[in-house]
Amino acid sequence: MFTGIVTAIGQIARVESGYDSARITIAPGKFDFSDVVVGDSIAVSGPCLTVVSIGSDAFVVDVSSETMARTTLGNKAIGQAVNLEKALKLSDRLGGHLVSGHVDGVGQVVKRVDLEDYVQLQIEAPVELARYIASKGSISLDGVSLTVNDARETDFDLMIIPHTLKETTLGSLHSGHQINLEIDLIARYLERLQKFAKASDAKPLNLDTLQQRGFSSP
Domains of the chain: total:
2
Cα 60 to Cα 56, 65, 186, 196, distances in angstroms = 11, 16, 32, 41
Same domain, 109 and 138: yes
In-domain check, residue 143: yes
d(CA 163, CA 167): 6
Has residue 95 been placed in a domain?
Answer: no
Residue 203 lies in a domain: no
CATH of the domain at 126: 2.40.30.20
Q: Are residues 188 and 111 in the same domain?
A: yes
User: Could you list the residue range(s) of the whole structural domain that residue 45 is in?
Assistant: 8-86
Residues 110 and 138 in one domain: yes
Report how far apart, in Å, the C-alpha atoms of 199 and of each of 64, 123, 194, 204 are. 35, 34, 9, 14
Per-residue pLDDT tens, the chain, 218 aa: give them.
899 999 999 999 999 987 778 999 999 999 999 999 999 999 999 999 999 999 999 999 999 988 988 999 988 899 999 999 999 888 787 888 889 999 999 999 999 999 989 999 999 999 999 999 999 999 999 999 999 999 999 999 999 999 999 999 999 999 999 999 999 988 888 887 877 766 555 556 666 766 776 766 55
Co-location of 111 and 191 in the same domain: yes
